[in-house]
Amino acid sequence: MTAPLRIGIAGLGTVGAGVVKIVAKHHNLLAHRAGRPIAITAVSARSRGKDRGVDLSGFAWEDDPVALARRDDVDVFVELMGGEAGPALAATEAAIAAGKDVVTANKAMLAHHGHRLAEAAEAAGAVIRFEAAVAGGIPVVKALTEGLAGNEIRRVMGVMNGTCNYILTRMETAGLPYEEVFAEADALGYLEADPQLDVGGIDAGHKLALLAAIAFGTRVSFDAVEIEGIGRIGIEDIRQAADMGYRIKLLGVAQMTGRGLEQRMSPCLVPADSPLGQLQGGTNMVVIEGDSVGQVVLRGAGAGQGPTASAVMADVIDLARGFRVSTFGRPAATLAEPVPARAAAPAPYYLRMTLVDKPGALAKVAAALGEAGVSIDRMRQYGHADAPAAPVLIVTHKTTRDALDHALRAFGATGVVIGEPVAIRIEAV
């Protein structure tokens, strides 16, 4: 019989325990599919005595994940600790230095150190696989590196943070303000220890940077991702977007343009009847557009024990089969240094503002937009009884963000705009 593929798991939280469960439950199935048995030989975690709901008695224990990575009876190091640096990075580097393949769910580590780690792995004859780092159970990395490898990718976009999608969906369906739904999501345990990783768009930005590197053959450039979270989205924006036939999503978009590589993670309006517009709750969706295949839509659970552990095992099985591919789909030395796009492609924008309710206020706003070269497609004033301020909604024709920002700065000099306007891009999907 072919020798088993021996794996060592560092990190026995939700996902690590899920991997142990899959190996135990589907031992024979995995062996048939991989062409050889898959065996867990050793594990590591912060606490040895914690009850994780799985039997760990048959595995060697290492307190130090670096020691686990160097063990002679570990062929594949499975890193599920998380964190941009610290033990996760040190153990991954140790595994690579020992010539071992690595499977990881660590998007932050790869977004910040991915190119260097890819170079080191190739020099050592090792492979790094990270399907579980992006969109949970959705096989989007495999789709880009394998299924769509014959295409020139035109655009990658998607909803890549289930917590944000839950919050925005809940605001719409329950009619609740952001602050209340945020507190609800926190109580349910949906938020990271640092909530800004979720609602600030950072978590999703890490994922977008990794997909962009694969899709466009560039080095990972997380620092070039333009990131805006969902904290400024009010219930009034949710309602008014719905009134116009749109829904608001935290949407990641990456595309190569004549201006350079455009990478942005920000709230956008999308048509309510589009696949992205119909996405509800904590589900993720990634849309890939290729020159030959057209548009491909991948939808599924973006987090959770089962889906993420499933993605980890997909990578492990590929390695057991002997299937090896460069970390980002091509040799690290061939990945180009990306030129960040200085401005996003033109698009229509949704603007919400509050105006002093006096004659000529709308005319001053329209003049500021016109002087910036921004034309108005639609304008709507909502009922405000006898209040001294009037809520106003404007949808522009296609414009650049630079032109729009020029207009927004000019609003302050009109004397009629109260507070800071909200501007949200309307994305063609």
Which amino acids are annotated catalytic?
A: 207
Across 347-388, the runs of DSSP E, i.e. the strands, are 349-356, 376-381
Task: Quote the tokens at residue 126.
Answer: 């090792």
**DSSP characters over 275-340:** TTTT--TTEEEEEEEETTTEEEEEEEE-SSHHHHHHHHHHHHHHHHHT----TTSS-GGGPBPP-B
Residues 6+ apart with CB under 8 A from 36: 1, 2, 3, 4, 5, 320
Exposure string for 253-283, b = 16+ CB within 10 A, e = fewer: bbbbeeeebbbbbbbbbbbeebbbbebeebb
252: buried, middle or exposed (CB in 10 Å: 19+, 13-18, 0-12)? buried
- Backbone φ, ψ for residue 227 (5° rounding): -120, 130
Cα distances (angstroms) measured from residue 347 to each of 185, 288, 428: 32, 19, 8
Which residue in 322, 307, 416, 306 sits closest to 361, CA to CA?
416
Quickly count: other Cβ atoms within 10 Å of residue 223's Cβ.
11
**Which residue reads 């809940």 in tokens?**
170
Cα separation, 21 vs 360, in Å, equals 67
Q: Give the 3-state secondary structure percentages of the chain, helix then strand then coil, rounded to 5.
A: 40, 25, 35
Strand pairing of 101-104 and 128-129?
A: parallel
Q: Are 117 and 96 in contact (CB under 8 A)?
A: yes
Q: Is 95 left (phi over 0), alpha (psi -120 to 50) or beta?
A: alpha
Cα distances (angstroms) measured from residue 26 to each of 22, 31, 310: 6, 8, 11
